[in-house]
Structure 1
Amino acid sequence: MDNLLPVMVQRIILGLVMCCVCLPVAAQAQEESNASQVDITELSLETLVNLQVVTACRAKKALFKTASAGYVITSEDIRRSSATTIPDLLRTVPGVNVAQINANSWSVSVRGFGQRFSGKLLVLKDGMTIYTPTFSGVYWDIRDTMLEDVDRIEIIRGPGGAVWGANAVNGIINIITKNAADTQGGLVVAAGGTEEGISEVRYGGTVGDDLSYRIWGKGALRDASVHDDGSRGQDGWSSLRGGLRADMTPTDNDRVTVTADIFSGRVGQNTWIPSPYAPGSLYLDEYDAPYWGGNILTRLEHDFGRDVNLAVQVFFDAVELKRRFQGGVYGPDQTSTEGTYTLDFDSQIHFPIGSRHDVIAGIGYRSIWDKFTSEPYWSATMSPSHLQRSIYSAFVHDTITLWEDRLALILGCKLEHNDYTGFEVQPSARLLWTPSERHTLWAAVSRAVRTPSRAERDQLYLREPAMAITNVNLSPTAALIGAAGGVRTLLATGLASGAGAGGYSIPVIPVVQGSDDFVSEELVAIEMGYRMQPVDRFSLDIAGFVNFYDKLMVMEADNLVLGPGYALFGLKVSNGRKGTGYGVELSARWEATDWWRLDASYSYQHVDTWQRSAGRNLLPMGGTEDSPESTASLQSHMDLPSGIELDVTGRYTDELASLEVDSYLEMDARLAWSPYENLEIALIGRNLLHNHHEEFKDRIVYLGDSQIERSVLAKVTWRF
């Protein structure tokens, strides 16, 4: 895969040159057709802070008057960003922790518990969950999208289980794409650089007066990262995806939306693998994982009048991923296949009761099928290999006006039933006080749960050898627990030091096993927030929280099985820990002049966990300390003369002491020129302060450690 990158980049750069030479002529002819487009930079700060959001309560509300810690990345923010992926767009959001693990994997979390699969974060796209139930997280590489089609990204920090259900524990990310009516005409994007090449095409049109549509396609190829020793990894990835969206208004009171996406690609991985052919041995395997899938979503909305409306949504989503490990000197290659298929129905009705109650209520059903196949010696298996499970849900959300336009009490609750843990109840109570149009204060108490993933219930997984034990007559438990997190060293018989006279050492291979006794993780959160706009050009948003966690996932020592020259140490998934987290998040926006805007954010968070009961041999899994305590960002956006834009972002991320990852300061920059209204030429630089740096170490799947490199990208965007 990596050998293809130079050719790809050369072709894209050649395409950029051709665009620069040929497109100005065509662009001039199209200026009038694009003159009516609205640039969000021309909107006032007051309009920006009152953007309508739907994620907080499943109905349109002004962000400034929302009783949640919210943030919106607008389409203009996306256009002026240096990011080419959704995770990178989220780096400047307060309370959101983003770390790139390698070229195709990220840790994205809210308010702590960072992992490759961050289970306490629910991610949606147009209301469709893209959260995988297999590992409780998101395959961000598989769920890539065309950023030019994104209208906004709404981020709600804090629990949202009362509205969205299980897994919306620490936050929700909702990616909302543009209405087809807002993407009329054509769009071509060509970009190439030192680390990636991207090409995109889109066309939107109409059929009659009531139907708007768009079709789009995207191809991307990204280079592999480098290891700590400077060698090139095998984690590059390529993808092809396309889709369509249609928006219809058959009557003045009805709206219909249909979206469909298909995608395929291939990702490379570097993973430390325990060998079944040489117990106690560990090797860095390099493998490819092709994937494919698609989804279709239909949403129907009807207005009955008198502020009563109904929405019904149905989607089907399918993803298949195949992993092929190289056996090398340890045996033949091994393969496994993971397939997940989701059918979801969701409905809600929004209606007032009298003059003081604004009610939203709904019901839902989700059915999930999956299949897992693997070779006999595969280090991870799922039993049963095929499973179907269902989720039933109902919710109600009531905004009660206590003092008109000033004080409101918001009560909500969602009731769900799943096949693993039965009924789950997630209530919430929020208080919203708006003493004036420029000030908003809010407080909330909420409960949310994260339900078990398929792997936590049904997977059997051989992890890397954690250590060597000396004198097998002694219990290895205490020593093994002391080696929590594992040792990235290949331990074979006799390699351990300190064997006493007559003693000997053998490697211990942890065997992680799911458990039917594992139940939902629980959160009770107390939040408070304050928003202010003291003057027209400045706004400030402050949020604080205290989280109380219970039944957190750990590994519990199970049993020890001795083999010829090695030992298998059983670890069972358990709800063995509890904890607290607290923090504060700030974001500010200042329009210094008509042509210069500054955005700043700062977050502090801290999480402590401890055993729920004494006397148990527990090994905490990653996540409790795998997020930085402090993060900060400062963005500068300048509109310079002659159609030139300069955007610079500085980012600070605190150390990850548990993973031995240092703190770092980085800078991204974008310089763009629009010689014509529908033509933009941009030069983008990312991670400009260092040749490369480390951001995260995966300790669940044990991906090979990677360095994130500096990159430069040239990009041309043409609208016609």
Structure 2
Amino acid sequence: MSTRFVGLAGMLLLAAPALLPAQGTGTVSGRVTRASDGNPVSGVSVTVQSTRATTVTGNDGRYTLERVPAGQQTLTFRWPGYQPKEAQVTVTAGGTVTADAVLEMQAVLLSEVIVSTASRAPERVVDAPAAISIVDIPAVQAAAMTGQVPRALAAVPGVDLVQNGVTDFNVNARGFNTTLNRRVLVLQDGRDLAVAFLGAQEWGANLGGLEEAGRIEMVRGPGSALYGANAFSGVMSVTTPTAREAKGTKVSLSGGELSTFRGDVSHAGVLGAGRFGYKLNAGYSQSDTWSRSRTNLNDLADEYREATDTTIGPTASFEIRALNGQTKPGGAGVPGEATGDRDPIQNLYGTGRFDYYAANGAVTTIEGGATQVQNELFVTGIGRVQVTKAIRPWTRVAWAHPNYNVMAWYSGRRSLEPQYSLNSGLALEEKSGIFHGEAQYNRSFMQDQATIVLGASARNYQVNTQLTLMDAADDDRSDSYYSGYGQAEYHVVPQVRLVAAARYDESNLFEGQFSPKGAIVVSPTDEHSVRFTVNRAFQTPNYSEFFLRVPAGAPANFSALEAGLRASPLGPALAGVPNGTLFTVSAAVPIWARGNPALDVEKVTAYELGYKGQLGRRVFVTVDGFFNRLTDFVTDLLPAPQVNSQYVPWTSPTQVPPQFRPALEQAVRDQLNAAGQTLAANALTRLADGSTAIVVSYGNAGKVDEKGVEIGASIAVTDEIRLGGNYTFFDFTVKDSLTGDVLIPNTPRHKGTLEASYRGVQGLELGVRARFVDSYAWNTGVFAGPVPASQTFDANASYRINNYVRVNLIATNVLDQQRHQMWGGSIIGRRVLGGVTATF
């Protein structure tokens, strides 16, 4: 069904251009130069206003726009650091007209930057009805060089950027971060980048496409009214350039500490008198890892010794499996020091894109690619998991028009070699795919006084873990989601805009969810706005929380417990129970982690008050305050009888006379508690087949109020020098929680960033950033402990030797401050990389 759906969507998209009215077209070409010295300016965006058709200038400052509708047209020339300019041209059918432009340098007016993620339609950032930030191009390019895309968000107010490995990050906003966080929806050109089974990001597989001038927008705060499930704390939207915007060839090479090497090559061009465009991209990266094996009882203490003042002694547990490339002596139950060299983290990727450009500005796109990832390590609620080798294929077809957007995409994941739970040594498999189709319409009315956005989508998940993570009844499954959404905006007066949005989501995995949003935006001038918003969002449990079925530890030996009961006054009641079978197999009672298919979604109701303002031509300020109420948290793994209605406290065997059963069951709990085995006492139950087991599972519980303030500022000291900074305050109050479930936000109370950058006319770019994070407690799954305060300094430099070659240098954690950013995560050190990029 899903394959036919995507195929039908593809045929409709390919047919769409044929439905458009034909008209005469011509060509516009020209050259863009800098006013101060007459030198060409590359990378300038040249847009036809009537159709939004866009290209960029090459190294020589020249551009060509083909298939421009005949008649009077207005071109807009834009590039950060230069004053935008418009030019009027008259295009004749079949002819060519020249439009040159001379740009004056000026400080970037951030209030004039156009964004589209907050409303799913273009608008000035100062008018957006949400807390939204734009990551500038140098930050994106620096992040692409490191292979660490989330690092581009380091200067965004309110964002928690928690790093575990070289490419493993957790990106969150506004509290209650977790391992494998999925409260922020991450999109690339509208395609959800999450892994189907866990719903979280596999950042190492999201490397391609950003070597060019990618764009990132980050919306903080709930976004389910337009984006649905899992836009719980925000939306991160990555946009890559079309083939026409990336014409030419680019080769990037970089390397440095941790034995890092990275190579990327891309080529894009146009064919058929500008009707068709193509873009190809391929790359490879390799790096050592900061992760260490923990197969000995003192390994965690040794690893964390330089990172924290907290005393960590030898632990009672250890990981059974060493990191790939290393070996541990002895059997599975024997600790030992891992020896050998760790296998490097490797990523190999390739993408291809084909565009068709219609004369009215519509673009039809067919693209796809795949990334192979090896040896990255993830921290999960049940321990660390290492991916040996997996592949992430994807494809997308889209038809984008100024008023319409139709899209279908597929995103998959397949374990080429097993991924391993280091705690248990179990091999875990995943073969999954997400199929999605969506259509959207937007239009303005009443001379732009009113605007609407309407859309609908359908999505299908297919997940198969080959019985390594789910049982036969739940595995190899297919689940569907359907949604419809809309947003309406109305200018009551030019200075006051009302916004109302709503979305309805339905699935066979959860009850239908209605997500409304309301906002009022007051703009006393074009440079200032104040907004108040109220919205609701939700997050669905992932497949692990719904259907997990894995051992949670070595079997427990209750033989002594049984023997003690037989010697007690309750002994005669056990006469009919064969010896050694009181707990089915008393010498080996299994311990299971099980999902809960009856879980409800997590919910948040949010209230926000925000201000954005351009103060003069050189200062831009944002202030956002929020109050959120979160309910129905999915708990950590707790004793199943407490949270999952499928399980009840352990009951006596049927051979025990009924009058003795309550006393026997109480005696079992009492003796386990007295022996310090509280978890076993509360989690002892019977499985569906009647056998005894210790089971932990998930449930819904809890109510938390959270509040905070996010402040950001950017100051253009001169046209070349910019200073910036942000500060975030966060606080929370637990209103209700379940016994045994620890509700903490895994978020610092205070954090902030200071940065400075220089972008010179002669091609020199410099940047330095300091990030300050308060200490905080971390508790998710099996990992609970303190995270120390950190002060991290990053620096980058870039110099354009000529119009074709640029050299780059970037250093993260320059002072090599040894810190873990989540308890259980790896210690993150310094990394210095150098590179060269050639364009031609």
State the alpha-carbon separation in 1 of the partners of residues 384 and 444 from structure 2.
59
Where in structure 1 are there 5+ consecutive unaligned residues? 1-27, 275-283, 304-308, 474-505, 699-704
State the alpha-carbon separation in 1 of the partners of residues 629 and 432 from structure 2.
32
* Residues 1:101 and 1:450: Cα distance change in structure 2 (over 3 Å): same
For residues 4-83 of structure 1, the aligned pairs below 5 Å read 34-36=59-61, 39-43=79-83, 44-45=106-107, 47-79=109-141, 83=146
* Residues 1:298 and 1:625: Cα distance change in structure 2 (over 3 Å): same
SS in 2 for 1:545: strand
State the alpha-carbon separation in 1 of the partners of residues 507 and 419 from structure 2.
34
For residues 200-279 of structure 1, the aligned pairs below 5 Å read 200-208=264-272, 209-227=274-292, 229=302, 234=342, 236-269=344-377
1:319/1:341 contact within 8 Å kept: yes
Amino acid at match of 1:264: Q
Based on CA coordinates, which of the two structures has the bigger radius of gyration?
Answer: 2
2:839 maps to 1:719 = yes
* Residues 1:468 and 1:435: Cα distance change in structure 2 (over 3 Å): farther
The alpha-carbon deviation at position 639 of structure 1 amounts to 3.4
- Please point out which of 366, 375, 392 is paired with 1:293: 392
1:234/1:287 contact within 8 Å kept: no
The alpha-carbon deviation at position 322 of structure 1 amounts to 5.3
2:686 maps to 1:686 = no
- Please point out which of 639, 642, 650 is paired with 1:557: 639
State the alpha-carbon separation in 1 of the partners of residues 269 and 711 from structure 2.
42
Query: Counterpart of 2:786?
Result: 660
2:141/2:211 contact within 8 Å kept: yes
State the alpha-carbon separation in 2 of the partners of residues 383 and 323 from structure 1.
24
SS in 2 for 1:135: coil
The alpha-carbon deviation at position 656 of structure 1 amounts to 2.3
2:387/2:419 contact within 8 Å kept: yes
The alpha-carbon deviation at position 343 of structure 1 amounts to 1.2
1:510/1:570 contact within 8 Å kept: yes
Where in structure 2 are there 5+ consecutive unaligned residues? 1-39, 44-56, 63-77, 84-105, 293-299, 304-337, 563-586, 642-648, 651-667, 681-692, 779-784
Amino acid at match of 1:558: A
For residues 76-475 of structure 1, the aligned pairs below 5 Å read 76-79=138-141, 83-195=146-258, 196-208=260-272, 209-227=274-292, 229=302, 234=342, 236-269=344-377, 287-302=386-401, 309-321=403-415, 324=418, 334-355=426-447, 356-374=449-467, 383-404=473-494, 406-463=495-552
Q: Which deviates more from structure 2 when the two are superposed, residues 643-652 or residues 53-62?
A: 643-652
Query: Counterpart of 1:4?
Result: none
* Residues 1:508 and 1:603: Cα distance change in structure 2 (over 3 Å): farther
Amino acid at match of 2:352: L
Query: Counterpart of 1:548?
Result: 629
State the alpha-carbon separation in 2 of the partners of residues 412 and 270 from structure 1.
36
- Please point out which of 700, 712, 720 is paired with 1:575: 700
* Matched residues, number: 629
Deviations 1:13-71 (A, max 9, x none): xxxxxxxxxxxxxxx9x999513277523354454332211111111111111110000
SS in 2 for 1:588: strand
1:445/1:525 contact within 8 Å kept: yes
Amino acid at match of 2:476: H
Equivalent pairs: percent with the same residue?
20
2:461/2:479 contact within 8 Å kept: yes
Deviations 1:334-356 (A, max 9, x none): 42211221111100111234454
Amino acid at match of 1:681: V
Q: Which deviates more from structure 2 when the two are superposed, residues 353-362 or residues 31-40?
A: 31-40
Query: Counterpart of 1:491?
Result: none
Deviations 1:235-284 (A, max 9, x none): 7410110112233223325321222121212124387999xxxxxxxxx9
The alpha-carbon deviation at position 449 of structure 1 amounts to 0.8
Amino acid at match of 2:175: G
State the alpha-carbon separation in 1 of the partners of residues 346 and 736 from structure 2.
43
The alpha-carbon deviation at position 101 of structure 1 amounts to 1.3
State the alpha-carbon separation in 2 of the partners of residues 440 and 286 from structure 1.
46
Query: Counterpart of 1:23?
Result: none
State the alpha-carbon separation in 1 of the partners of residues 408 and 549 from structure 2.
34
State the alpha-carbon separation in 1 of the partners of residues 381 and 554 from structure 2.
9
The alpha-carbon deviation at position 203 of structure 1 amounts to 0.7
What's the TM-score once normalised by structure 1's chain length? 0.80
Amino acid at match of 1:73: V
What's the TM-score once normalised by structure 2's chain length? 0.69
The alpha-carbon deviation at position 572 of structure 1 amounts to 2.4
State the alpha-carbon separation in 2 of the partners of residues 258 and 272 from structure 1.
35
The alpha-carbon deviation at position 556 of structure 1 amounts to 4.3
RMSD: 3.4
Q: Which deviates more from structure 2 when the two are superposed, residues 559-568 or residues 677-686?
A: 559-568
The alpha-carbon deviation at position 325 of structure 1 amounts to 6.5
Query: Counterpart of 2:661?
Result: none
The alpha-carbon deviation at position 644 of structure 1 amounts to 2.8
State the alpha-carbon separation in 2 of the partners of residues 595 and 618 from structure 1.
55
SS in 2 for 1:147: coil
1:239/1:263 contact within 8 Å kept: yes
Amino acid at match of 1:108: V
State the alpha-carbon separation in 2 of the partners of residues 684 and 468 from structure 1.
54
State the alpha-carbon separation in 2 of the partners of residues 200 and 350 from structure 1.
37
The alpha-carbon deviation at position 382 of structure 1 amounts to 7.5
State the alpha-carbon separation in 2 of the partners of residues 458 and 216 from structure 1.
38
State the alpha-carbon separation in 2 of the partners of residues 507 and 527 from structure 1.
54
2:479/2:508 contact within 8 Å kept: yes
State the alpha-carbon separation in 2 of the partners of residues 273 and 577 from structure 1.
18
